[in-house]
Amino acid sequence: MVFDQFDAGTFVDNLKKINGDQHQWVGTHCWPGNINLDFLDQVIIITTATYRSKIYRWVRAYHHYFSSSKPWLQVQKQQRIDKERETAKNYLVPFRPVDSTKTINLEFAEVVENRKEFSSLIHNLNPAADINLHMDRWQALNKFLYDKDIWSSNPCQRFYEAELETQHNKFYVYE
């Protein structure tokens, strides 16, 4: 079971609906705090502790949520760059691993790059699952993550600039 749109209260309510007699696992990008895990076999935490994971997460958010949003479409040129850079700063903060015997921490980069760690985990959780079919669909929806020039793309440039401003504690306001 994978929840991807929730607040902490809704997340807990959904967890309580799980039948504790069955083997269950839960996947989340953002673990919402201390929750009793006794009725779950596994919790998979998709972390962004690595640099690649942070960038992938930002680029995905940029394309899915921000680039064509009304607030972003209302500004142009330098104001747009500033809005992108300021938003990218939120993605510098990682989703950290959760230390628990019931959790499996998996870096987002391992998912994007379909690394052995990810495919083995999915196969172990559901041997009958066709991971290739799922990944083909996911890659089609997120094709920008597989662009050969991703690291020099506009979203990545904004991420690098956001990181530089944050590291040097030097924030710019553009006119």
**How many angstroms separate the CA atoms of 89 and 54, rounded?**
11
Please give the structure tokens belonging to residue 123: 């196969």
pLDDT in tens, 121-147: 888 877 766 777 878 888 999 999 999
pLDDT in tens, 65-99: 999 889 888 998 988 999 999 999 999 999 888 88
Which ranges of the chain does DSSP label H, i.e. alpha helix? 8-16, 51-61, 70-73, 77-88, 108-112, 116-125, 131-141, 154-167
Bridge partners of 42, per DSSP, are 25
pLDDT in tens, 23-32: 556 666 666 6
Helix axes 77-88, 154-167, angle to 10 degrees: 70
Q: Is the pLDDT of residue 61 over 80?
A: yes
